[in-house]
Amino acid sequence: MAVKPPPDRLYGRQRSHPLRPRQQRLLDVTLPRLRFAADAAGTPAAGFGRPPSQLWLEVGFGGGEHALAQHAANPEVGLVACEVFENGLCSLLSRLVPDGEEDTAPVPDLLRVWDDDARVLLRALPDTSLDRLFLLFPDPWPKARHAKRRFVHPETVGLVARVLKPGAVWRVASDDPTYQAWVEEVMRAQDAFVISPPATVRPEGWPPTRYEAKALAAGRQPLYWSFIRRTG
Ligand SMILES: C[S@@+](CC[C@H](N)C(=O)[O-])C[C@H]1O[C@@H](n2cnc3c(N)ncnc32)[C@H](O)[C@@H]1O
């Protein structure tokens, strides 16, 4: 496929309004208690409070609704939730620790936060270490000249393929027609994943996100893909 290599830097907002004191405290005090340590990436089970049964990763969790719902429904799975937007990080952290208990409230053993570019973590993980990956409503970058910024990109697909176990699922959702066509084009050009037509209704065991709710309210049709990592 003719697309420029993905830039190493991130585009899109990482900050918006000045943070309120509670938000600042969540970032200063709670985030370090939940941060997935970069030096655990080589042996990811070591990055959790106890050994996980599987390792799942969510890229760009937004407000954290999906990550928290998956964690609640799959309490033995180790989930690393990645997000770089400060308000998103605060949103997830605020649901985990009550106001005034940012440094004392117990934090989950098997939920960890990666507050940097998810691609940095993907590069650091061992081959076939991930059991599941979620990419829900990624920034669409609809202009053709911004295609290289899209997370679904031939190079990033290779990165994802390397870390997923054979048979593991990569879930992708998008409501943007340009991105939907792009996902089809990129995934048809690779052979690491088995592809099948996307669902038009969110499948079972796939909790909703805030962005999806906005898309549905605006009358946009999300598509939901489940790509299966090929064996061998
Ligand atoms: C459109 S929002 C969707 C949020 C959420 N998944 C939802 O469905 O509500 C995309 C999010 O991905 C985050 N993001 C984009 N690229 C990322 C990357 N490389 N690593 C981690 N987060 C990323 C952005 O900060 C943004 O919050």
Residue nearest ligand 1's atom 14 by CA? 60
For the record, the structure tokens of 228 come out as: 């299966």
**pLDDT surpassing 90 at residue 66:** yes
Residue 10 CB less than 6 A away from ligand 1: yes
pLDDT at 103 over 80: yes
115-162 pLDDT tens trace:
999 999 999 999 999 999 999 999 999 999 999 999 999 999 999 999
Inform me whether the pLDDT recorded for 33 exceeds 80: yes
The answer to whether residue 167 scores a pLDDT higher than 80 is: yes
Global confidence as pTM: 0.97
Q: Is the pLDDT of residue 232 over 80?
A: no
Cα(149)–Cα(5) distance, integer angstroms: 9
Give the whole-angstrom CA distance, residue 114 versus residue 61.
Answer: 10
pLDDT band at 14 (very low <50, low <70, confident <90, very high): confident
Residue 87 CB partners (closer than 8 Å, separation 6+): 15, 16, 17, 23
Q: Determine the distance separating the centroid of ligand 1 and the alpha carbon of 232, expressed in angstroms.
A: 30
Give pLDDT, residue 158: 97
Q: How far is Cα 204 from Cα 52, in angstroms, rounded to an integer? A: 23
Determine if residue 100 is left, alpha or beta; phi over 0 gives left, psi from -120 to 50 gives alpha, anything else beta.
left
Using pLDDT thresholds of 50, 70 and 90, give the confidence band for residue 15. Answer: confident
pLDDT band at 3 (very low <50, low <70, confident <90, very high): confident
User: 133 CB under 6 A from ligand 1?
Assistant: no
**Which residue lies with its CA nearest to atom 13 of ligand 1?**
60
Which of 31, 4, 38 has the alpha carbon at shortest distance from 147? 4
